[in-house]
């Protein structure tokens, strides 16, 4: 199958306008007759539900959490990028576009990324109008800060809680439409399957997490805004319920999965401290504005940081990358931290940490200024570690944080299944092989407020569909299959807990498909995952029944999908015989140990098609054409 990304013709700067004009419109009267299912209530899901409802569509909104306001976007700390150039430092739509394409190591679509940069400004306008309390200068105008991979200051923020404030803005809009009667919410619902009728996405099977009831819902289109799959690693910065299940079910129903091996390892997280640990905590990248990263110059130096004089410290990012210093992109910062620790220069009890030091910033700006900027992050750090970053340098280490890979979508954000749209982190489209800081919030809201509401109209206007209800046999069949899978999980009654399997899967992937990879390790990982999956279906223990509130059963279903999905990640990593962005294959590196791309053979999106449970997935290629930027070796020196 030839993948058609449906990128409009014409100049890069005019493609989106042209697309808007070429998309067919649904008349206001007809919108009222159309039902759309939106899964997820994070930035992308909440914003798209609200906006579609404002346009007149009828929305059913589903989420796992007890209320839409708790979706994991709420945890985003640092900020949201926009090309406003309020800082007058030479920013422009073109520069934001270029930084994002380059940051992604030239593995994303030019047209998508340019559109994202264009829309970035509308997002800030809309969020301010909603009452999002962004940080302001003394004159009352909006303040900005810098983030990795950029030399301009274009990041808007609300202290260290930008995601929370943007999400509460979108949640408010969603609540308003519920009051208007345009949105019906279904909280505490898990998606068990996507239902296709005549090869078009027409609904979902869900399970009520309170009563265990299996339900079916029909609509004219389905939107997945289900986030990323970082939790395949067990330990990640994602919320505990974040999962791949809905996306993986869509994959099994024919939606191609793109670039699953592109997983972002964030450089500034609190290091792992024990085997009982349930998740990792991110410290916002914004800290790298003022914090200096260092390790002792000599391996094995176990002195406390205040005993190590300047001359015996290695500020390795500033030394290796003088132009960007501590603000290199995330993949570069993470890999360098790992390299230092591998050389025995890591600090802390485990030796798997580096310092992030605010001493110079406090001396320069005063403690009050630094506390005002990062107070809540310092507080969070102190709560977890019992240590005060104003007195001792923070210790940080990389952790899995975000997934650039996701379901393949065309320019209109539709997957390879007609009528199934995918937005936000759940799709693959805008960040290439590495996402820059403060770009995830931008993409989620761009998709939700300003892209999908138009493009889905184009699909609905030009597609003739019969009304389908949940009584259709396809729904009954899907519900039955979902129920029998639940019964199977409950009937195994083995000897290992779900979490135990999940931890082992996570450690296999972290060791073999993490910050640095090679073919031999990846092959080993593939075997290990298969063995673990087999054992899971023979030896997992899931207490309780399917007809009640059962958190073990919820987790079992998600881990069962992760055990299949993990293998797909490894297969994708094996197939990409180059290094780019987050995907670092040791066989492909420059003399200076930087990622070495192979643009001749791998300048493409890898999109995988499900081919049955016992078969390898089928590889499809979407070539990436760069007409407006020159492919170059990324350099942050």
- Interface of this chain with another protein, residues 58 to 77, rule: CB under 8 A: 65-70, 72, 74-75
The CA-atom distances, in angstroms, between 66 and each of 71, 152, 170, 241, 461 are 10, 39, 17, 12, 34
Beta bridge partners of 214: 207
292 carries an active-site annotation = no
> Based on CB atoms, which residue is closest to another protein, 548 or 586?
548
> Which residues share a beta bridge with 394?
356
**Closer residue to another protein, CB minimum distance, 498 or 570:** 498
Question: Which residue from 630, 629, 634, 631 is spatially nearest to 113, judged by alpha carbons?
Answer: 629
Which tokens in the block code for residue 320? 């290796």
Smallest separation, CB 135 to another protein (Å): 7
Smallest distance, Å, CB 1 to another protein? Answer: 34
Number of residues that bind another protein (CB under 8 A): 81
Which range touches another protein (CB under 8 A), out of 237-245, 351-359, 405-413, 467-475?
A: 237-245
- When binding is defined by CB under 8 A, the residue of 187, 424, 437, 457 that contacts another protein is 187
Q: State the Cα–Cα distance between residues 382 and 380, nearest whole angstrom.
A: 5
Options 215-223, 474-482, 538-546, 597-605: segment touching another protein (CB under 8 A): 538-546
Binders of another protein in range 145-164 (CB under 8 A): 158-159, 161, 164
- Give the C-alpha separation, 570 to 568, whole Å: 5
Q: Among 235-243, 337-345, 569-577, 599-607, which window interacts with another protein (CB under 8 A)? A: 235-243
Looking at residues 254 to 313 of the shown chain, list those that interact with another protein (rule: CB under 8 A): 273-274, 276-279, 281-282
Residue 552 touches another protein, criterion: CB under 8 A: yes
**What is the smallest separation between the CB atom of 138 and another protein, expressed in angstroms?**
6
Minimum CB distance to another protein smaller for 93 or for 124? 124
Distance of closest approach, residue 429 Cβ to another protein, in angstroms: 20
CB 584 within 8 A of CB 595: yes
x/- mask, another protein, residues 191-210, rule CB under 8 A, reads -------------------x
The reply on whether position 453 binds another protein by CB under 8 A is yes
CB of 167 or CB of 570, closer to another protein: 167
Q: Which of 241, 326, 427, 585 binds another protein (CB under 8 A)?
A: 241
110-130 and 162-179 helices, crossing angle to 10°:
70
Q: Is 213 in the site for another protein (CB under 8 A)?
A: no
Output 48 or 607, the one with its CB closest to another protein.
Answer: 48
CA distance 116 to 16: 10
Contact 162, 144 (CB under 8 A): no
Q: Which is nearer to another protein, 187 or 389 (CB)?
A: 187
Which of residues 497, 518, 539, 628 is near another protein by CB under 8 A? 497
Which member of 198, 551, 632, 635 binds another protein (CB under 8 A)? 551
Asked if 50 is part of the footprint of another protein (rule: CB under 8 A), the reply reads: yes
Cβ-based nearer residue to another protein, 75 or 81: 75
Q: Is position 47 an interface residue for another protein (rule: CB under 8 A)?
A: yes
State which of positions 70-129 bind another protein (CB under 8 A): 70, 72, 74-75, 84, 86, 122, 124-129
Q: How far is the CB of 169 from another protein (least distance, A)?
A: 8
Q: Pick between residue 242 and residue 582 the one whose CB is nearest to another protein.
A: 242
What CA–CA distance (Å, rounded) separates 124 from 633? 32
- CA–CA gap between residue 74 and residue 42 (Å, rounded): 8
Judged by CB under 8 A, which stretch of 48-56, 146-154, 478-486, 624-632 contacts another protein?
48-56
Q: How many Cβ atoms are within 10 Å of 629's Cβ, its own excluded?
A: 16
Residues 353-412 close enough to bind another protein by CB under 8 A: 379-380, 383-384, 386
CB of 473 to another protein, least distance (A): 34
The per-type count for the chain, helices as H runs and strands as E runs, is 18, 21
- H/E stretch holding 251 reads helix 245-252
Q: Does 179 bind another protein (CB under 8 A)?
A: yes
- Rounded-to-integer distance, Cα 230 and Cα 238, Å: 7
**Interface residue with another protein, options 135, 352, 492, 629 (CB under 8 A):** 135
Question: What is the phi/psi pair of residue 420, to 5°?
Answer: -110, 110
Q: What's the CA gap between 310 and 336, in Å, rounded?
A: 20
Under the binding rule (CB under 8 A), the answer on residue 538 touching another protein is no
Q: Does 352 bind another protein (CB under 8 A)?
A: no
Specify the stretch interacting with another protein by CB under 8 A; choose among 256-264, 495-503, 558-566, 580-588: 495-503
Alpha-carbon distances of 330 from 52, 99, 149, 485, 502, rounded to whole Å: 34, 13, 8, 39, 26
Q: How far is the CB of 493 from another protein (least distance, A)?
A: 9
Using the minimum distance from each CB to another protein, give the nearer residue, 158 or 416: 158
Helical packing angle, 43-55 and 162-179, nearest 10°: 30
Cβ closest to another protein, residue 27 vs residue 211: 211
Among the listed ranges 16-24, 28-36, 232-240, 317-325, the one in contact with another protein (CB under 8 A) is: 232-240
Residue of 321, 378, 449, 584 that binds another protein (CB under 8 A): 449
Distance separating alpha carbons of residues 452 and 243, to the nearest angstrom = 23
For the CA atoms of 485, 490, 492, 494, the dihedral, rounded to the nearest 10 degrees, stands at: 140
Q: Closer CB to another protein, residue 54 or residue 535?
A: 54
Distance CA 374, CA 380 (A): 10
Shortest distance in whole angstroms from residue 294 CB to another protein? 25
Annotated catalytic residue, options 159, 292, 330, 517: 330
Our finding on whether 612 is near another protein (CB under 8 A) is no
The span from the CA of 143 to the CA of 123, in Å, is: 16
Among 38, 2, 7, 166, residue whose Cα is nearest residue 456:
38
Contact (Cβ atoms closer than 8 angstroms) between residue 608 and residue 573: no
Closest CA to 422 of 168, 625, 101, 191: 191
Q: Which of 420, 547, 382, 484 is nearest to 36 (CA)?
A: 420
Helices (DSSP H) in 106-244: which residue ranges? 110-130, 162-179
Annotated catalytic residues are 330
């Amino acid at each position: 199958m030839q993948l058609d990304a449906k990128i409009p013709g014409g100049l890069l700067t005019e493609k989106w306008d042209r697309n808007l004009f070429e998309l067919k419109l649904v008349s206001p009267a007809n919108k009222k007759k159309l039902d759309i299912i939106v899964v997820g209530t994070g930035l992308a899901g909440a914003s798209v539900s609200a906006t579609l409802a404002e346009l007149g569509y009828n929305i059913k909104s589903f989420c796992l959490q007890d209320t839409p306001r708790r979706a994991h976007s709420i945890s985003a700390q640092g900020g949201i990028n926009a090309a406003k150039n309020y800082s007058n430092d030479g920013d422009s739509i073109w520069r934001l576009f270029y930084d994002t394409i380059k940051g992604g190591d030239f593995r994303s679509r030019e047209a998508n990324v340019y559109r994202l940069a264009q829309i970035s400004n509308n997002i800030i306008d809309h969020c301010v109008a909603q009452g999002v309390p962004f940080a302001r200068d003394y004159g009352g105008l909006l303040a900005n800060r810098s983030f990795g991979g950029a030399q301009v200051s274009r990041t808007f923020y609300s202290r260290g809680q930008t995601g929370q404030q943007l999400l509460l803005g979108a949640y408010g809009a969603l609540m308003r439409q519920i009051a208007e009667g345009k949105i019906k919410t279904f909280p505490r619902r898990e998606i068990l399957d996507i239902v296709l009728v005549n090869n078009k996405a027409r609904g979902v099977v869900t399970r009520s997490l309170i009563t265990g009831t299996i339900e079916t819902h029909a609509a004219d289109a389905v939107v997945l805004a289900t986030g990323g799959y970082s939790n395949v690693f067990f330990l990640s910065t994602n919320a505990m319920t974040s999962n791949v299940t809905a996306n993986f079910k869509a994959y099994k129903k024919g939606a191609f999965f793109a670039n699953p091996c592109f997983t972002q390892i964030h450089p500034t997280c609190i290091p792992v401290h024990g085997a009982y640990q349930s998740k990792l905590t991110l410290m916002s990248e914004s800290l790298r504005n003022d914090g200096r990263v260092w390790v002792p110059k000599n391996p094995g130096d176990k002195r406390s940081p205040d005993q190590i004089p300047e001359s015996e410290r290695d500020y390795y990012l500033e030394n290796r990358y003088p132009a960007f210093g501590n603000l290199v992109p995330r993949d570069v910062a993470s890999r360098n931290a790992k390299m230092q620790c591998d050389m025995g220069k890591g600090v802390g009890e485990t030796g798997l940490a580096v310092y992030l030091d605010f001493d110079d910033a406090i001396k320069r700006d005063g403690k009050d200024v630094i506390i005002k900027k990062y107070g809540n992050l310092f507080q969070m750090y102190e709560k977890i570690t019992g240590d005060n970053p104003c007195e001792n340098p923070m210790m940080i280490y990389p952790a899995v944080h975000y997934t650039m890979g996701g379901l393949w979508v065309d320019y209109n954000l539709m997957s390879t299944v007609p009528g199934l749209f995918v937005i936000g982190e759940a799709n693959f489209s805008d960040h290439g092989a590495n996402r820059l800081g403060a770009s995830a919030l931008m993409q989620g809201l761009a998709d939700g407020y300003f892209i999908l509401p138009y493009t889905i109209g184009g699909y609905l206007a030009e597609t003739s569909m019969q009304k389908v209800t949940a009584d259709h046999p396809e729904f009954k069949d899907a519900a039955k299959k979902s129920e029998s899978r639940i019964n199977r999980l409950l009937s195994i009654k083995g000897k290992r807990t779900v979490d135990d399997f999940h931890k082992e899967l996570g450690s296999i992937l972290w060791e073999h498909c993490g910050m640095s990879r090679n073919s031999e390790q990846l092959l080993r990982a593939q075997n290990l995952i298969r063995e673990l999956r087999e054992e899971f279906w023979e030896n997992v223990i899931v207490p309780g029944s399917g007809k009640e509130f059962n958190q073990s059963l919820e987790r079992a279903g998600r881990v069962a999908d992760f055990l299949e999905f993990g293998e797909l990640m490894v297969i994708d990593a094996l197939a990409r015989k180059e290094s780019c962005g987050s995907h670092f294959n040791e066989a492909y590196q420059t003399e200076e140990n930087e990622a070495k791309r192979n643009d001749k053979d791998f300048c493409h999106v890898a999109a995988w098609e499900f081919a049955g449970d016992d078969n390898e997935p089928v590889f499809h290629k979407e070539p990436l054409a760069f007409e407006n930027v020159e492919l170059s070796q990324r350099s942050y020196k």
